[in-house]
Amino acid sequence: MNRRNFLSAGLMAPAAATLGLAGTLLSPQASAAEAAAARPMSYAARQGWLPNVPLVAHTGETFNFYDDLVRDRIILLNFFVVGCTEGRCPTTNANLRKVQDMFGDRMGKDVFFYSVTLQPELDTVPILKEYAEDIFEVGPGWLFFTGKHSDIDTLRKAQGFQDPDPERDRDVTLHSSTGRLIDDNNNRWAMVPLSTSARNVYSVLNSL
């Protein structure tokens, strides 16, 4: 909190207390949000590699990709489709389920998984919810996302998941089973094939 905000908060507190609203106006959550907003974006975000597009999670919540999901975090990002006919997505997500267990209670605190559908017009929130919770039994820290096709496309291409052939690029059956690993605090990036052993995925992510 800067000096101006600090002084403003101090002046407002007595009036707010009179109204019984001091706890709301000066809540720890609001202070934390202010502090996060005041921090500069990472180099990758400033370069446009982490676009702040809105995404809708399988929980029904809407998040801005950089501000809410990536900033100051260690994440694993992958793209998938629920109706994958090649078997790559079920294998990949089953593997990530094992990795989730390896991280244990670090999930949702130190490490986060984000799986983004490439078919948002088909993979709606109810479908993602069933896929995530009933099939893969995901825990805290792992979210499945849908959203506008244009926003997902922007995110996908910013992460380098793009084929130079436009026709191949539009074919979701050719999607990669590679995961992007990002440590936003330290500007460390990596990629790992998610079809390798869960132990390998865990080791690469844990080394960031």
What confidence tens digit (pLDDT) does each residue in 182-207 have? 999 999 999 999 999 999 999 999 99
CATH 3.40.30.10 applies to domain 43-206: yes
Single out the residue of 143, 139, 140, 131 nearest to residue 55, CA to CA.
143
**Arithmetic mean of pLDDT, 167-179:** 88
Global pTM reads 0.81
Q: What is the pLDDT of residues 85-133, one digit of tens each?
A: 777 898 999 999 999 999 999 999 999 999 999 999 999 999 999 999 9
Boundaries of every domain in the chain: 3-38, 43-206
Calculate the average pLDDT of the chain: 85
Order of strands, edge to edge, in the sheet holding 62-64? Answer: 62-64, 54-57, 142-146, 111-117, 74-80, 178-183, 188-193
Report the Cα 52 to chain-centroid distance in Å: 11
Report the Cα 124 to chain-centroid distance in Å: 17
Note the pLDDT of residue 145: 98
Phi, psi of 162, deg, nearest 5: -145, 135
Distance CA 143, CA 53 (A): 16
Written as one letter, the residue type at 185 is N
Distance CA 168, CA 162 (A): 9
